[in-house]
Each structure stands twice: as C-alpha cells, then as structure tokens.
Amino acid sequence: MAADWIGCLVSIHCGPTLGVYQGEVSSVDQTSQTISLRHPFHNGVKCTVPEVTFSAMDIKDLKILEIRKSSTEVPKQNGPDTNSTLTPHGGRKDKGGGGGAPVNSTPVMVPNKTEPKTQEGGMSPVPHYSKRSSSCRGPNQATPKKNGLKNGGHMKNKDDECFGDGMDDVPDEDFDFEGNLALFDKAAVFSQIDSSERRGNGARSRGTPGEQTPSRYRHDENILEAKPVVYRQIMVPQNGTKEYSTDSGLVVPSISFELHKRLLAAAESHGLSLERRLEMTGICASQMALTLLGGPNRLTPKNVHQRPTVALLCGPHVQGAQGISCGRHLANHEVEVILFLPNFVKMLEAITSELALFGKTGGKLVSNVKDLPETPVDLVINCLDSHENGFLREQPWYKAAADWANQNRAPVLSIDPPVSGQAHAVEAKWSLSLGLPLPLSDGAGRVYLCDIGIPRQVFQEVGIKYHSPFGCKFVIPLHSE
C-alpha cells in the first residue's frame, strides 16, 4: 500500500546535522526502509537535485503537510514487525524505549486529515524545524509556525524554546485594511466634530459632541491661573514721565534720578555696598555684551582666530567704574578688550581697585584717543557720562572719545546713561538701566533693565511697591508705552 502515499507533501526532520527536508513523496520502499522526495527543499531552500532518498534510521521526525489522495485507512505492513511507528503527526514512538529505529524497521505513515494545508497546489517552502535566521531563509520563505509538539527523546530546538510560545495563535490570513477602513464613515465623524465646535463657540470638544470646553491656548498660555494677573505690580510715589513694559506685559514705571539716589543709599545702608553693586552691574552688562557679540555662535574654542574686540570708553566716576568691571568680565571670557580712561591726578577709590583687577586680565589700557583702533570694532561700550557732573562733556578728552565712537561705525551699548534732558553725545543702540529705569530719551536706543540685587523691603523704605519683573533672568528688555 506504499503507493497510497505517492504525491503527499511531507516534512522530514533528520536531526541537527542533516536538517529538515520537504517535498512530494515519489516512492516508498518498505523492503529497504527508504522514502524518496521529488522537488525537495532543504531548510527552506530548493535543492539542486531533483530527488532525495532517506533511510528510516536517518529520519528523526516526519510530518504530513498535505494529503493529495483521500486515504482513510492505515496501510498494512507486509514486512516483519517493527520497533518504531511514525505517528499521524510525524513523531516517532519507540516501543522498546531505544534511541533510534533499527535498520529493518518499516515506517508506517498514517494520513491525518486535520493537518493544516498551506498553499493550494504546492508545498510549504518553510521547514517546520528550520531556524528563524535570515541567513537560512529563501526568497519566498515565510514565518514558520509552531505545532506545539516535542521531539521524543531529543532536545527541543533552541529557537522554539525561546521564541516558539504563542505562535499557534498567528492568523493564516492577512488583515484586510481596505475592508476595515471602509467601515469608517469619515463624513459622519467630521460632521459631528463640526457641529460640536459650533455649539462650543469655536472651541473643539475633547469629550462628547455636546460638551463645551474652555478655549484653546497656545503652548505658552496653557497655564492654570488661580486669579487674574495684575500687570501693574510696581507702584512709585511719583509718577514718572515714562513707562515701560516687559515681554510678559508687566508695567515697569520709570523713576526720577533723585528717587534713584535715595534707593541706592538705602540699599547701601543695608549692606549692599558700592563694590557689590559694581560687581553685579559688571556681570549683567558683560552677559548682555556677550549675547550681542554672538554668544555661543561666536565664542567657541574652534573660533579663537576671530575673537571679538570691544572698546570701553570710561570716565572718572561711578559709571566709569561700572564699565571697568564689565571689561574685566569680558576679558575673562576671551574677548579682546581695549579700555580708554584718561589720566587724572585724583580718581575714585572704586576706579583704582577696578583698574588693578582689570590689569590682571591682560586687557589693554589706553589714555589717548589716538591709541584706539582705527578700524571698526565689534562693540563699543559707553560709560563716559555721569548723572551729576555734566561739565565733563566740555572736556577735550570727552569730545574726542565721543567723536571716535560716532565715527567707528560699531554698535554702542550705554551702561547707566543719564536721564532725559541731557543730550547724548554718543548715539547708542542699546542702554542698560539698573534696578528701575530712568526716563531716558530716544537717543538711548533700546532699553534693557538689569537686577543689581536690591531687596524688596529696601524698595518699600523709599515708598516703592515692588514686585520683581525679572522672572528667571537678570537682564530683560523693556518696551516703551
């Protein structure tokens, strides 16, 4: 009855050495205990030979993939009794408990109609026990499925132990994306969204269509507010002639120079000395200057051949000492600093100490305008003006320095410039005020405000209701109202 198996598609496992073969049964010889496959596949790759013959002693496992002929009975054995029988699922059971089948054993193959079929009219190109590695797959090889059976008396394949669980539930058919998409009625859904938006006054609902939600916010506006924001949080006893506002809308009023002096005197009485204010002003001004010079795009270790050059114009007063402090911090950040300060018989102690520190940085100090660069520099920092001594503008050195700054064609940053009513000899592009701004004229350019560390209670002592407008920064821009 061996002819009943001719044409069936089978998978033969010959152990880890020989591998797995699949093919169509071409002949079964019970006398020599052999079985032959035509058009064989070895480990999922089509063999170059048209037919392969196997001995019963080499077969470790046999699985019927497809039955071409309707056989309902088990073929009877014509030979002697065998010690092993191939089960309907291809697994071998040893009667005597031995490891391998003897040479004279006859394989009895029982057809199983419950075995899943693969491709119609063809055989599965994937061996059941082939390893799931890309190196042994053919061009048409698919993902193997696990039949859940163990090899009797032999160790399970390592890939089956690691990755074989749950493979029985993989569907045979591909998911129908087009058919599933056809079930989605886009027109009805969008109509429902539009109707909900109209009921919600333009706000898109995230819940049911009839549910109304608050208006949508930008990424910087989506903040839960416990109470309305008060934008006028700084109140001064005397309304200044000018008001400014921050980027967030907070109102920053200007103060007179007399109130500004009282505020600094109160801060000094509480320990905020001139030296501490000079240091804070120098840090804030240098940070702003570094940003204007290009920041991280300009000041990098790879750009040492293009170090920026800054010219500092300072006078013999507190504003000049603030500029020297700024120049020291700039020089510490690898900026070429050229400091202009005329020779005076008597100078402030603060200027003397700042000059001593500046000399340790390697910066250049000049006392004559002729020693300033003839070519344009990257930035000019103006600290020539004083709030109290307006007669300095009549000095020859002042006029010469102002003329050089106006002719150099470099942008100008003024630190703590004078109030309105005093003409600006040097037109500035930016101006930096301290604590609270003074009512500056249009010649001061774009106004910035820096925090010099005055506590809130010090503001209250001089009659200023103060709430810090700086947020997370120490230097903020101000906009004219």
**pLDDT for the residue 423:** 64
Residue 42 has pLDDT above 60, yes or no: yes
Residue 273 has pLDDT above 50, yes or no: yes
Give the percent of the chain with pLDDT over 90.
39
Put residue 463 in one of left, alpha, beta given phi > 0 → left and psi -120 to 50 → alpha.
Answer: left
Residue 75 has pLDDT above 70, yes or no: no
Residue 133 has pLDDT above 50, yes or no: no
**pLDDT for the residue 333:** 93
Residue 47 has pLDDT above 60, yes or no: yes
Give the side-chain half-sphere CA count within 13 A for 436.
32
- Boundaries of every domain in the chain: 2-169, 174-224, 243-295+306-480
CATH class, 2-169 region: mainly beta
Per DSSP bridges, beta strands 412-415 and 379-383 are parallel
Amino acid identity for residue 30 in this structure? Q
CB-based contacts of 362, cutoff 8 Å, min separation 6: 331
Residue 80 has pLDDT above 80, yes or no: no
For the ranges 1-15, 168-182, 286-300, the maximum mean pLDDT occurs at 286-300
For the ranges 2-16, 65-79, 439-453, the maximum mean pLDDT occurs at 439-453
**pLDDT for the residue 240:** 58
Length of the chain: 481
pLDDT in tens, 312-346: 999 999 999 999 999 999 999 999 999 999 987 67
Q: How far apart are CA 225 and CA 299, in angstroms?
A: 40
Q: Record the tokens describing residue 161, joined without a space.
A: 């132990």
Q: How far apart are CA 26 and CA 8, in angstroms?
A: 8
pLDDT band at 353 (very low <50, low <70, confident <90, very high): very high
**pLDDT for the residue 156:** 54
Residue 54 has pLDDT above 50, yes or no: yes
Q: Could you please report the per-residue DSSP string of 131-154?
A: ---GGG--TT-----------TTS
Give the percent of the chain with pLDDT over 70.
70
pLDDT band at 286 (very low <50, low <70, confident <90, very high): very high
Which range among 79-83, 244-248, 440-444 shows the weakest confidence by mean pLDDT? Answer: 79-83
Judged on CB neighbours under 10 Å (0-12, 13-18, 19+), 387 is: middle
Average pLDDT over residues 242-257: 92
**pLDDT for the residue 178:** 79
pLDDT band at 57 (very low <50, low <70, confident <90, very high): confident
Of residues 283 and 132, more confidence is placed in: 283
Amino acid identity for residue 299 in this structure? L
Amino acid identity for residue 362 in this structure? G
Neighbours of 69 (CB within 10 A): 11
Q: For residue 41, which of 2, 3, 10, 6 has the smallest C-alpha distance? A: 10
Q: Record the tokens describing residue 130, joined without a space.
A: 């082939």
**pLDDT for the residue 141:** 45
**pLDDT for the residue 164:** 60
Residue 76 has pLDDT above 50, yes or no: no
Q: How far apart are CA 27 and CA 37, in angstroms?
A: 7
- pLDDT mean across residues, the chain: 78
**pLDDT for the residue 17:** 83
Average pLDDT over residues 176-182: 79
**CATH match of 243-295+306-480 with 3.40.190.10:** no
pLDDT band at 111 (very low <50, low <70, confident <90, very high): very low
